[in-house]
Amino acid sequence: MFLYRLLIFILSPLILAHLIWKSFRLGQSRFLSQRLGYRLQHLPQGCIWFHCASVGETNTILPLLHELHKRHPDTPFLITTNTTTGAEIVERQNLPWLFHAFLPMDWCLTTLAFIRQLKPKALYLVETELWPNLIVLCNGKGIPVNIINGRLSNKTTKANSWVRSVYKQILSKVQHIYVRSEADQKNYLSLGAMNNQVSILGNLKFIPPASINAESQALTQRDYVLVASSHNDEEFQIAKVWNTLNRKELLVIAPRHPERRDNIIKQLKQAGLDLNTIALRSRNDSINEQTRIYLLDTIGELMQWFEPAKLIIMAGSFIHRGGHNILEPAHFGKAIVFGPHMESFIDENELLTEKGAALQVQSFEELGNTIAVLLDNKASRIELEDNVKKTLQPFASIVTDYADVIDKTISQ
């Protein structure tokens, strides 16, 4: 821990400069203030605190928080995130019992300021958010720290000996680790967790979203294919495929980072699209018969577009990004196609593909052929939809299992 704290201290001028630059770029002074441990007066003391990295983890725990609120209607819940996109997901819920703050940087002074002001009853870290000072200082203040939906990548478990020693020290300060699978359990044990400290409860991502806002479902009456969470070059390559297919359906592209919209439009033009056939959600463009691509360049609306989609292409999987959570569209019982790079979601990939509940393709050429088959063959599409519903049905009790273990902390 000494070396970690020394390294953080040495890098603090660069980290602070980055925070100031990012806050200025985002136009959010709250981002900087709260990452430094200030501007917390509007937050309740004695809350149950959940920390999520960003959008994915936030969406994952919302159903759990709804279940916990039903059981404890007078208890305030706090979600902290590292990103503004995660913040927007929380704020869109507009729930009087759910609050948001940005996680303070992992310096002792900022973390202590945060803890002293809020006096949280307990901290739950979601998935892989192992911040050493946060964990050690909460433990020292008598705030129980637990990890839920725990997962660790092979990269983390194969880190050098110094990093592993830091992880071993902080895991000793964690009360309990509730993991998704046997593989995750083995990874935590290999990192230094004790046998009686780790339990398998299942993957919270296997449970359906807490609620669906149907507002955007009326935006178009046209059939459409949805490209979800796309990254640089994927829009270009998929648009080229779409052009070749010359389909009558609409292609809706929801980029992972909407601020890339100008670059995406350039790529779509390079792919052969006429700019007059591209509509943007951020401009509130209308969709007409001439529209070929609709760019969903906004935050927090993607889930609303899953349900009506004829077919979903889960992006982030056609480049070396590691994929995105294919369970999100799976909960809507949709036909899903994704690419070869799913290293970050191996378990989810294997579950759905082995059950015939999703299709994995190895190239953009294969993607084009698969799109054509699934759009023209309704029976093939329905078979995928039926299989995905059957595959996820047995996981309905996971949210209850997690709520039961968290109940113990709230009831103390």
Write down the pLDDT at residue 210: 61
Residue 154 has pLDDT above 80, yes or no: no
Write down the pLDDT at residue 211: 52
Q: How far apart are CA 101 and CA 50, in angstroms?
A: 10
Q: How far apart are CA 207 and CA 197, in angstroms?
A: 24
Strands 145-150 and 176-179: parallel
The gap from C-alpha 293 to its chain's centroid, in whole angstroms, comes to 25
- For residue 411, the one-letter residue type is S
- Banded pLDDT at 28 (limits 50, 70, 90): confident
Cα within 13 Å of Cα(211), Cβ side: 13
- CATH tag, 37-207+397-411: 3.40.50.11720
Residue 216 has pLDDT above 60, yes or no: no
The alpha-carbon radius of gyration of the chain (Å, integer) is: 22
> Any residues with CB less than 8 A from the CB of 188 and at least 6 apart, and which?
150, 152, 171, 177, 179, 198
Write down the pLDDT at residue 339: 96
Residue 215 has pLDDT above 70, yes or no: no
Handedness of CA 66, 409, 96, 127 (dihedral sign): negative
- Burial of residue 182, with CB atoms counted within 10 A of its CB: 0-12 exposed, 13-18 middle, 19 or more buried: exposed
Residue-wise pLDDT tens digits, 255-276: 999 999 999 999 999 999 999 9
Percentage of the chain surpassing pLDDT 90? 69
Q: How far apart are CA 391 and CA 203, in angstroms?
A: 14
Residue 135 has pLDDT above 90, yes or no: yes
- The CA distances from residue 230 to 316, 319, 323, 349, in Å, are 6, 10, 10, 18
Q: Count other C-beta atoms under 10 Å from residue 29's C-beta.
A: 11
Q: Count other C-beta atoms under 10 Å from residue 111's C-beta.
A: 22
Strands 250-255 and 145-150: unpaired
Q: Average pLDDT, stretch 119-134?
A: 93
Residue-wise pLDDT tens digits, 44-73: 999 999 999 988 899 889 999 999 999 999
Residue with tokens 């973390």: 111
Residue 294 has pLDDT above 90, yes or no: yes
Angle at 35 between CA 34 and CA 41, to 5 degrees: 15
- Banded pLDDT at 155 (limits 50, 70, 90): confident
Question: In the chain, where does the domain assigned CATH 3.40.50.2000 lie?
Answer: 215-394
> Any residues with CB less than 8 A from the CB of 312 and at least 6 apart, and which?
225, 226, 228, 306, 329, 334, 335, 336, 337
User: What are the structure tokens assigned to 132, written together?
Assistant: 């050493």
Residue-wise pLDDT tens digits, 299-344: 878 888 998 999 999 999 999 999 998 988 998 999 999 999 999 8
Q: How far apart are CA 134 and CA 106, in angstroms?
A: 6
Residue 291 has pLDDT above 90, yes or no: yes
- Banded pLDDT at 213 (limits 50, 70, 90): very low
Q: pLDDT averaged over the chain?
A: 91
- Banded pLDDT at 214 (limits 50, 70, 90): very low
Write down the pLDDT at residue 48: 96
* CATH class belonging to 215-394: alpha beta
Question: In the chain, where does the domain assigned CATH 3.40.50.11720 lie?
Answer: 37-207+397-411
Q: How far apart are CA 69 and CA 224, in angstroms?
A: 36
Candidates 152, 94, 148, 87; CA nearest to 122 is 148
Are 180 and 200 spatial neighbours (Cβ–Cβ below 8 Å)? yes
